[in-house]
Amino acid sequence: MNPSSMDIVIAGVGGQGTVLASRVLAQAALEAGLSAKTSETIGMAQREGTVQSHVRIGKDDFGPVIGTGQADVLLAFEPAEAVRALGLLKPGGLLMVNDYPIRPVTVTLGTSAYQTEAILDYLKNTPFQLKVVRAFDTAIAAGSFKAVNTVMLGALAATGRLPFSRSAVLKVLLELVPAKAREINERGFELGAKL
């Protein structure tokens, strides 16, 4: 992997904070002197729908959207959304998945099914480097279930695979979140980094 260029897909559910996570990675890249661009899902899908953010680092000549089989990393905040975005990941790519399912209303109402075990098993048998992250419990331990995104960012930053340091990611994160949310986010990030 060329350390100065990287494609990252962040997949999740509207409200989980994929946009913040992608902004943090892009800003950290810029501060490391690399070019960065992102593409987000904003609008109707933010209401608990499927969302994706794409982050492209060091890809000056290309647009912000990552094509099939191009991503080096898939950071999935939710297991079913990991499966939905899997086609974007290149063979051997890093697949980091929060194992806590968010069951949509269609499942609660019985009009569609969430096969948690089957989904997690499926992810285990794919040709990617899988790392399962217990991000939901960790976020609760950090102070809020909403900190799943920062837990996942911490876990990703701690792999050492990003073209900038873990502390650079944390610095940008703490600059981008509101002052009153800094403590929970810092805790979430640090706990995530230890997973």
Which amino acid is residue 131, in one-letter code? K
Q: Is 119 in the site for other proteins (CB under 8 A)?
A: yes
Yes or no: say if 136 and 148 are a contact pair by the CB < 8 Å rule: yes
Stretch that binds other proteins, among 2-10, 106-114, 177-185, 186-194 (CB under 8 A): 106-114
Rounded Cα distance between 84 and 101, Å, is 13
Using the rule CB under 8 A, is 2 a contact of other proteins? Answer: no
From 1, 3, 87, 175, residue interacting with other proteins (rule: CB under 8 A): 87
What torsion, rounded to 10 degrees, do the Cα atoms 152, 155, 160, 162 define?
Answer: 0
Report the residue number, 137 or 158, with the smaller CB distance to other proteins.
Answer: 137
Cβ–Cβ < 8 Å for 157, 16: no
45, amino acid identity: A
Which residues are at the interface with other proteins (CB under 8 A)?
13-15, 22-23, 26-27, 30, 35-50, 61-65, 67-70, 80-81, 83-84, 86-87, 89-91, 103-109, 111-115, 118-119, 122, 125-128, 145
